Structure 1
Amino acid sequence: MIHPTPYSTNHKPAVDLLFPLKQWVNNLEVNNAKIAHLLCKVIPCSCPFERKITVMGRTLFQIPPLCKLNPLYQEFVVLRLKALSYLADVCGEDVAHYIC
C-alpha cells in the first residue's frame, strides 16, 4: 500500500506523449561528418536567455528561455554532444569553435 506524502496529490502521473519521439532522438547515431557539422551549427550549446520585448520603456511581452519552450531540448543537447564526440573522436577534428 502506498502512503501519501504531504506533498503528493492523488492524481495519476501525466502521460508523456512525446516519449516515443524523445526515445527516437536519443537512439539516433551520428556517423557522418557533414551531418555532425550541421547538428553542431543548428543546435545551440546552451539554453538561450529569455528576452523582454519593450517599446517606449513598457514591456509588451516576455519570451521564456528556449529550454522551457522546447520539450525535446535535452534530447537535442545530447544529440549535439554525440555529434561533437563523433567529430573529435572518429574524425579527429578540432571542435573548439563549436564550444561556447
Structure 2
Amino acid sequence: MDSFTEHLHSHPISAPGPASGLEILRPLRDWIDRLDVNNRFFAHQVCRIIPCCCPFERTFSLMGREIHIPALCELNPVYNELVGLRFRSLSYLADVCGEDISHYIC
C-alpha cells in the first residue's frame, strides 16, 4: 500500500462535531422529542398544524414534460421530530381516547 492509502485507512471519516450548524437546534429537537401527548386538545392541535405529507411536493406537466418538485419538508432540521410528535398525537387520540383519526390521514 502506498502512503496515501495507508493514511485513508488510518483516519476513518467521522460525523460532523458539535460545531456543525445543525447542532445549535439540538435543544429544540430534544424538547420536541420530550413533549408528552396526554391532552386531547393538544393532540388535535398538533394533528391540524403538522401536515401528514409535504404540501410542497408536486408533479406537474410543462410543455409536455413532467416536472417533479421533491418534498422540501425533509430539509427542515426538525422534520423528524415534528413527524414523531404528530405520530404520538395520532396514537394518543386513537389508542387512549378511542377517536376516529381517519380524517387526519392523507
Q: TM-score, normalised by structure 1?
A: 0.71
Match for residue 38 of structure 2 among 26, 31, 35: 31
Percent identity between the two aligned chains: 51
Whether 2:88 is the aligned partner of 1:85: answer no
> Does structure 1 residue 40 correspond to structure 2 residue 43?
no
**Higher Cα radius of gyration:** 2
Structure 2: stretches of 5+ with no match in the other structure: 1-8, 59-68
Unaligned runs of 5+ in 1: 52-61
How far apart are the structure 2 equivalents of 1:90 and 1:99? 18
**Counterparts of residues 58-97 of structure 1 (less than 5 Å):** 65-68=72-75, 70-97=76-103
The alignment covers a number of residue pairs equal to 85
- Higher fraction of helix: 2
Counterpart of 1:14 in 2: which secondary structure?
coil
Q: Which runs of 4+ in 1 moved over 6 A?
A: none
**Distance of 2:74 and 2:87 partners within structure 1:** 16
In 2, Cα distance between the equivalents of 1:50 and 1:93?
29
Give the TM-score of the pair, scaled to structure 2: 0.68
